[in-house]
Amino acid sequence: MGIDPPLVCTALVCNVAYPLPGKLALLKHHEVITLFHELGHAFHDLLGRSKYATFHGHRTVADFVEAPSQLLEYWCWVPECLQRLSYHYSYLSAGAGEDYECGTSMIHSTRPTKEIPRSLLEKLVEARSINQGILTMRQVAFSSFDLKIHSPPSHEDIKSMDVAEIYNSLLQRTTLLQGPDNDYQWGHGYATTPHYIWGQEANYYSYLYTRILAANMWWSNFHADPMSQEAGLKYRKSILEHGGSQNEQVLLTEFLGGEPTVELYLKYL
């Protein structure tokens, strides 16, 4: 008698908009991006074909693991993809349109079109680069903080380390945004993220590094035709199927047809 293989599944546990009683949960665009980011990890896991579980799917080197998830975010900025993904909630069911009209004022009683207007999506894409410079430098500050607190010269330096001052001074000097006081004791933002202590110590910089890799994969294979089946299959077989079972840098170089460069990420910014 044959034995059925175990059922394999991947679950995403995410924080998204919570619906009010009797209402729908309507995702904001940044929540859609987050969902796609996490789906990138899920696809990496679901499509992995490594022989050993320890190298399966997203179990790659830390300097690469975020690249597939960050790559999937790009589809959230393609107007055609956003139009296929969504439509106005009042068209979800027969009674939804009536509920919408009953819940709006006379000023806004005109029912919106089913599809997101192209003009609205184009404005959304145009606004993508707003504050990206500051947000990127913020990531540089977080990365610098992560490296600094995990590479103290001695045990005595650890005991005397003023973590708040290190964090806030780096954030202020890197982003050029002034804190509320004249010193660096105005907050404990480092305590709001687990990234510095959850097994990726001294590796926060990879979040920026892998964005460079994701940008190279997007511009070299998907930008011209985001829905290309040929490009998708190439990506699946060249990158996703191997997980961490082969040298990720070698796989990426073969997929790109050359070494990744920072210029393509700067172009995106």
Confirm if 76 and 82 have CB atoms less than 8 A apart: yes
Q: CA-to-CA distance for 41 and 240, rounded, in angstroms?
A: 10
Q: Are 211 and 265 in contact (CB under 8 A)?
A: yes
Q: Which is the catalytic residue, given 31, 38, 115, 241?
A: 38
* CA 76 – CA 253 distance, rounded (Å): 25
Give CA–CA dist 33/55, Å, rounded.
27
- 122-130 — which CB contacts under 8 Å span 24+ positions? 122/79, 124/29, 124/77, 124/82, 125/77, 125/79, 128/77, 129/269
Whether 161 and 149 have beta carbons less than 8 Å apart is answered as yes
What value, to the nearest 5°, has the Cα angle with vertex 102 and ends 97 and 105? 115
Give the 3-state secondary structure of residue 139: helix
Q: Do 256 and 217 contact (CB within 8 A), yes or no? A: yes
CA distances from 265 to 76, 209, 220 (A): 17, 10, 12
Q: Tokens at residue 135, please?
A: 């947000």
**Residue 115: active-site member:** no
The answer to whether the beta carbons of residues 190 and 145 sit under 8 Å apart is yes
Q: Which residues are catalytic?
A: 38
